[in-house]
Amino acid sequence: MMVSSGDHATDSKTSLTGFAPLEAVLFDVDGTLCDSDPIHLQAFQIMFQEIGFNAGVPVDEQYFIENMAGKHNDDIARFLFPDDIPRGLKFMDDKEAVFRKLAAEKLTAIDGLYKLRKWIEDRGLKRAAVTNAPRANAESMISRLGLSDFFQALVIGDECEHAKPHPEPYLKAIELLKVSKEHTIIFEDSVSGIKAGVAAGMPAIGLTTRNPEHLLMQAKPTFLIKTYDDPKLWAALEELDKKSA
């Protein structure tokens, strides 16, 4: 049985030893490197207020999680403006500009991220960011977090034939890094992202940044963690080190 992020007991499902020796680590961006969903929600609320969406009543976090979090902008545009896709796409472009302005002041890393960064760099592992976010957003967030020199590749869902939850973005990342999926792990925070990783044949460790555990578990993550400081993660990485030695 898979364990939740609230359970620190070690069992076979939290083990990563089957992927030793590790070659690469792949990260989603929004909600995985940084807790950006509240900023996205605020940007949507600002934009919705301008057009009188939902009769002027601000949408809440639950609405955002169910309909927008982790989804490709084209899909959100179709959901919001099914009868006027061009308007929806323009709305999303404007919303992302608002997001970048807000993020420049408010964006912070997920707890423990820089500790994990050091662990990855010390072992010479390859790494890529794989996201459904627009390139301008992804590059802005990665730069803001001081990770521009850390990532060796950046894969944008919109620049692939298929975005997440299709596995293509993750398969493209391992192709760019020249690593095997049998020796690569993924960090994700959304249902669509975990599904993409699992479909690509790689273990996806889910972060419970904002999305409910029961929803994430439906996507079949290897296990869930609260942050990169989670003892469960470090127990698994310590085991992995021993296996690789």
DSSP state of 109: B
Q: How far apart are CA 148 and CA 228, in angstroms?
A: 19
Question: What single letter denotes the amino acid at residue 211?
Answer: N
Q: How far apart are CA 120 and CA 113, in angstroms?
A: 11
Structure tokens at 154: 């950046």
Known catalytic residues are: 28, 30
Helices of type H across the chain? 37-51, 61-67, 73-80, 85-106, 113-122, 135-144, 168-177, 191-199, 213-218, 231-244
Structure tokens at 76: 């959100």
